Amino acid sequence: MPRVGRGRDPLSLRSPLAGTPGIGPARARALAAAGLTNVLDLLLELPLRHEDRARFASVADLVPGGPPLTLSGTVVEARLVRTRRPGFSITEATFEDESGQAGLVFYNQPWMARWLTPGLRVFVHGRAVMKRRLTLEAPHVEAEPEENEADAALSVGRVVPIYRSLPGLPPRVRRRLVARALEEATPGLPERLSAEVVRQLGLPPLAPSLREAHFPGSAGGPPDPGPWAERSSPHLKRLALEELLEFQVALLRRRRERATRPAPRIEADAALRAALAGILPFPLTGAQKQAIREIGADLRSGHPMARLLQGDVGSGKTIVAVLTAVLAAGRGFQSALMAPTTILAEQHAETVFRLLSGSGVKPALLTARVTGRPRAALLAALEEGEIGLLVGTHALLEKPVAFRRLGLVVVDEQHRFGVSQRAALPARAVASGLHPHVLVLSATPIPRSLALALHGDLDVSTLGEKPPGRTPIVTRVAGEGEREQAYRALARDLESGGRAFVVVPLVEDSETIDARAVASWTEEVARRLPGRRVGAIHGKMRAEAREKAMRQFAAGELDVLVATTVVEVGIDVPEASFLLVENAERFGLAQLHQLRGRIGRGTRASTCLLLPGDGASAGALARLGVLARTEDGFEIADEDLRMRGPGEALGTRQSGLPEFRIADPLADRELLAKARELALQLAETAGTPPFEEALLLRSARR
Ligand code: ADP
Ligand code: MG
């Protein structure tokens, strides 16, 4: 019920947070800095977790290494401990309840020593470890509310939400705000699915789901944090589905819009087909032929193609792209082929120049390294329409270059996968009212079903088969104490004319630490390989320095390249025949597979040795065994997803998946499929789908 007689209007979903009771300018700024400006933002940021403060555990229940527990008790004392490391602090405290005492320890939270005054009543939540005594390590601590405090019942005696902590916004204030927003604003949350559909889904309605997300047990669900921690709550599923539905509807809409735009109509006649066949240095694989058929149909349609060509490393995506460009050139349209780095662009250019010699299609390479007169001449030739296929980096479209008749844009994403953004880029390159066709190449081995759902606005072609005649790579997981042997094997390979990558894990994500770690690894490797020229690359190096080292390695001026995973998106070095991965258990399987794609590209027999670190678990070793067993990227990705869970197997940010507030597209794969199905269904039945206005989806609102 809206509260009346308090001199203010009830909150609605779009009410600004600034000025609501308890939120003065300072708190409003803290909220805004965290991306929360209105009531809906606040309600859609779900708790990180919940604490059951209806039934407390006690000190006597603590077990070292046991599950995290919530206790209620009193601070006995707290003090700041001196450490020698500058900028690093430890606070130690003693906590007690009726059953006994336990230690609390906090790292780098010096204010805790001041705040935890003797006698303070607190809730603590954490995991116990055995130090000098039983201790909760870095626990969450919150002061108990006073009994007469307004809304004390939101923070004790029930399952309580724990939110991301924001400076200047105490947890109890936030809970009060959320509770009020839920009460006043959720009646305005539209239920966009028909009762019939909701029933078929077997999921609860939307508004109670949102209430449950914050205060489990408040709207018909169980007062239990468990289902939320496990992502099994039907209320959570309902919220996630809603968000995924908005996403799928947006993809569908984009796809429909595209289908109304005009694009060059490109069709191959017999002569063109013969010309295409003429440039092929080898027969195409069945998968390549199928992909070309699919692309051919798109190009004939008169509307812009937006197709993802996905295939494992080495599956032969480049030739498919080049053939498509030749097809476009045959009808007088220019193409652009873009790679993520200069060095990859150069490499593509080499392939392209080779394939196109004698084809009548003129290729060119444009990177930041092409300057002065040659650059001016190239740009002029491009505008004249003389150049049929321009190879460059993604900067080609960021700083648009003038084409005379651009008909096709090929984006080589390598393994990154920010596909949706990329597909939007060429809109700028529209010439003479015709939208160019877009082909995105991706080596991210994700299951086809997932690719379809995540890139619902793209069509997908998959190269599920590799060209014949590739030298297989022998992959082995080294056993304990086989390090010496591993480096001896590497040395032997170098002696026989090979080159090697040694991949090392990163310690921390900091520039100086990375550089130091890589430097010390490099010293270690050089010590083990006397007389060999050892170079190094890592992600925090300046791009030019990195490319220089790669070039030296490619040219044979270095025998060994010590590298972090930056070599994933690497260059072709046919002589590279040995890959040694230190602390291999710290990498994802898909990542290791990608790394392995750097070798076995020439005629030399190639070896991949995975060296687990000392503490690697049996499970981790079993995981690495998958790589020794198969070279199929899709199978590996599936295993990785299965064994490690989606969050870890493909980090959202890194993989370029859209950032959802609630859904986890990998964990919630079934919901994603369901959302896709529902979106199609909704689009068929209603004129405008009810999800046009996005409430949950972030990208669509900002
Ligand atoms: P990726 O999909 O990783 O980009 P590439 O296009 O670089 O793969 O192809 C990998 C290698 O396989 C290249 O050396 C290429 O010339 C070769 N290749 C591609 N298609 C075929 C084929 N049908 N038969 C034989 N070799 C092929
Ligand atoms: Mg490639």
* 21-30, 86-95, 149-158: range with lowest mean pLDDT: 149-158
Q: Which residues contact 343 (CB under 8 A, 6 or more apart)?
A: 547, 550, 551, 571
Rounded to the nearest angstrom, the distance between the alpha carbon of 314 and the centre of ligand 1 is 5
Specify the range with the lowest mean pLDDT, choosing from 34-43, 236-245, 465-474, 547-556.
Answer: 465-474
518 and 450 within one domain: no
Using DSSP, state whether 580 is helix, strand or coil. Answer: strand
* Ligand sitting nearest the alpha carbon of 312: 1
Between strands 90-97 and 100-107, the pairing is antiparallel
477, 447: one domain: no
pTM for the model stands at: 0.73
Q: How far is the CA of 43 from the centre of ligand 1 (A)?
A: 50
Main-chain phi, psi angles of 459, to 5 degrees: -90, 150
Predicted confidence (pLDDT) at residue 252 exceeds the cutoff of 90 = no
As a whole-number percent, the residues of the chain with pLDDT over 90 amount to 48
Q: Are 410 and 325 in contact (CB under 8 A)?
A: yes
Nearest atom within ligand 1 for CA of residue 597 = 3
Statement to judge: residues 396 and 477 lie in one domain: no
Closest to 582 measured CA to CA, from 647, 528, 645: 528
Burial of residue 358, with CB atoms counted within 10 A of its CB: 0-12 exposed, 13-18 middle, 19 or more buried: exposed
Q: What share of the chain is helix, strand, coil (3-state, %, to 5)?
A: 40, 20, 40
- CA–centroid distance, 73 to ligand 2, in Å, is 61
CATH of residue 487: 3.40.50.300
CA of 26 to the centre of ligand 1 (A): 59
Residue 654: pLDDT above 50?
A: no
Domain presence at residue 48: no
Q: Are 48 and 164 in contact (CB under 8 A)?
A: yes
Residue 242 covered by a domain: no
Whether the predicted pLDDT of 640 surpasses 80: no
How far is ligand 1, taken at its centre, from the CA of residue 611, in Å?
Answer: 29
Among protein residues, the one whose CA lies closest to atom 15 of ligand 1: 316
What angle (nearest 5°) sits at the alpha carbon of residue 654, between those of residues 633 and 341?
Answer: 80
Ligand 1 pocket test, pick from 289, 319, 410 with the greatest ligand atom count within 8 Å of Cβ, gives 319
Q: Highest mean pLDDT: which of 1-15, 241-255, 566-580, 679-693?
A: 241-255
| 5 in any annotated domain | no
The letter for the amino acid at 6 is R
- Residue whose CA lies nearest to ligand 1 atom number 5: 316
Of 548, 491, 526, 592, which Cα lies nearest the Cα of 518? 526
Q: What is the pLDDT of residue 432?
A: 62
Please state, in angstroms and as integers, the Cα–Cα distance from residue 99 to each residue in 73, 95, 102, 389, 678, following that order.
10, 11, 10, 77, 54
pLDDT computed for residue 400 by the predictor: 66
Q: Which of 630, 651, 667 is the last residue of a domain?
A: 630
- 156, 125 contact by CB (below 8 A): no
Q: Which atom of ligand 1 is nearest to the CA of 318?
A: 6
User: In ligand 1, which atom is closest to the CA atom of 469?
Assistant: 25
Q: What per-residue confidence (pLDDT) applies to 658?
A: 63
Nearest CA to ligand 1 atom 21: 467
CA 489 to ligand 2 center in whole angstroms: 29
**Section 356-369 average pLDDT:** 89
d(CA 479, CA 494): 22
For range 242-250, the mean pLDDT: 89
Last residue of a domain, one of 600, 630, 660: 630
> Which bound ligand lies closest to the C-alpha atom of 412?
2
Same domain, 404 and 499: no
Nearest CA to ligand 1 atom 4: 317
Q: Give me the mean pLDDT over the 325-346 stretch.
A: 89
Ligand 1: which of 276, 309, 318 to mutate, judged by most atoms within 8 Å of the beta carbon?
318
Please check whether residue 277 lies inside any domain of the structure. yes
Ligand 1 midpoint to CA 412 (Å): 14
Q: Could you tell me the distance, in angstroms and rounded to a whole number, from the CA of residue 283 to the centre of ligand 2?
A: 18
Q: Burial code of 384-416, b = ≥16 C-beta within 10 A, e = fewer?
A: eeebbbbbbbbebbeeebebbebbbbbbbbbbb
Is the residue at 308 inside a domain? yes
Say what the pLDDT of residue 44 is.
95
- Looking at the structure, tell me whether residues 447 and 483 fall in a common domain: no
Q: In angstroms, rounded to a whole number, what is the distance separating the alpha carbons of residues 324 and 313?
A: 19
431 — pLDDT class (breaks 50, 70, 90): low
| Residue given tokens 């029933």 in the structure block | 199
Q: Is residue 333 included in any domain, yes or no?
A: yes
Ligand minimally distant from the alpha carbon of residue 598: 1
Higher pLDDT pick, 401 / 246? 246
> Taking CB atoms and a 6 Å cutoff, what residues make up the pocket around ligand 1?
282, 284-285, 288, 311, 313-319, 443, 467
User: Rounded to the nearest whole angstrom, what is the distance from the C-alpha of residue 519 to the centroid of ligand 1?
Assistant: 35
Residues 477 and 544 in one domain: yes
Q: How many whole angstroms from 96 Cα to the centroid of ligand 2? A: 61
The Cα–Cα gap between 636 and 590 comes to 6
Cα distance between residue 65 and residue 569, in whole Å:
40
- The residue nearest atom 22 of ligand 1, judged by CA position, is 467
Mean pLDDT in residue range 228-257:
91
Ligand nearest to the CA of 469: 1
Instruction: Tell me: do 430 and 530 sit in the same domain.
Output: no
Q: Pick the ligand that lies closest to the CA of residue 311.
A: 1
- pLDDT for the residue 345: 87
| pLDDT digits 0-9 by tens, 462-481 | 898 888 877 789 999 998 78
- 418 and 480 co-located in one domain: no
Same domain for 384 and 339?
Answer: yes
Interval between CA 546 and ligand 2 midpoint (Å): 19
Please indicate, yes or no, whether residues 398 and 520 belong to a single structural domain of this protein.
no
Whether 279 and 404 share a structural domain:
yes
CB-CB neighbours of 678 under 10 Å: 22
- Residue whose Cα lies nearest atom 23 of ligand 1: it is 284
Task: Please tell me whether residues 331 and 459 are part of one structural domain.
Answer: yes
Does residue 222 fall inside a structural domain? no
**The residue count for the chain:** 702
Look at ligand 1, atom 18, and give the residue with the nearest C-alpha. Answer: 316
- DSSP category for residue 46: -
Residue 4 has pLDDT above 50, yes or no: no
Inter-helix orientation angle 317-330/286-300, to 10°:
30
Could you read off the pLDDT of 171-227 as tens digits, one per residue? 989 999 999 999 999 988 889 888 888 889 999 999 999 999 999 999 999 999 999
Which residue, judged by its Cα, is nearest atom 1 of ligand 1?
Answer: 314
Q: Characterise 401 by phi-psi region: left (phi > 0), alpha (psi -120 to 50), beta (else).
A: beta
What are 272's two structure tokens?
């063109």
Closest atom of ligand 1 to 412 CA is 4
Q: Which ligand is nearest to the CA of 467?
A: 1
Cα 441 to middle of ligand 1, angstroms? 13
Question: Which ligand has the minimum distance to the alpha carbon of residue 594?
Answer: 1
Q: Return d(Cα 326, Cα 272) in angstroms, integer.
A: 9
Residue nearest to atom 25 of ligand 1 (CA): 467
Last residue of a domain, one of 120, 137, 153: 153
Q: Is residue 127, in this structure, part of any structural domain at all?
A: yes
The ligand 1 atom at the shortest distance from the C-alpha of residue 319 is 6
For the chain, what is the domain count? 3
Q: Name the residue with tokens 């401990």.
A: 81
Tell whether the model's pLDDT for residue 484 goes beyond 60. yes
Q: Is 502 helix (H, G, I), strand (E, B) or coil?
A: strand
Alpha carbon of 418 to ligand 1 centroid (Å):
23
With a cut of 90, say whether residue 250 has pLDDT above it.
no
Give the residue numbers spanning the domain of 569: 473-630
* Kind plus residue range of the DSSP H or E element containing 411: strand 406-412
What is the rounded CA–CA span in Å between residue 476 and residue 102?
47
**What pLDDT does 140 receive?**
93
Query: Does 56 or 1 have the greater pLDDT score?
Result: 56
* CATH code for the domain of 82: 2.40.50.140
According to DSSP, the β-strands at 606-611 and 534-537 are unpaired
Kindly give, in sequence order, each residue whose CB lies less than 8 Å from that of residue 358, ignoring residues fewer than 6 positions away.
278, 279
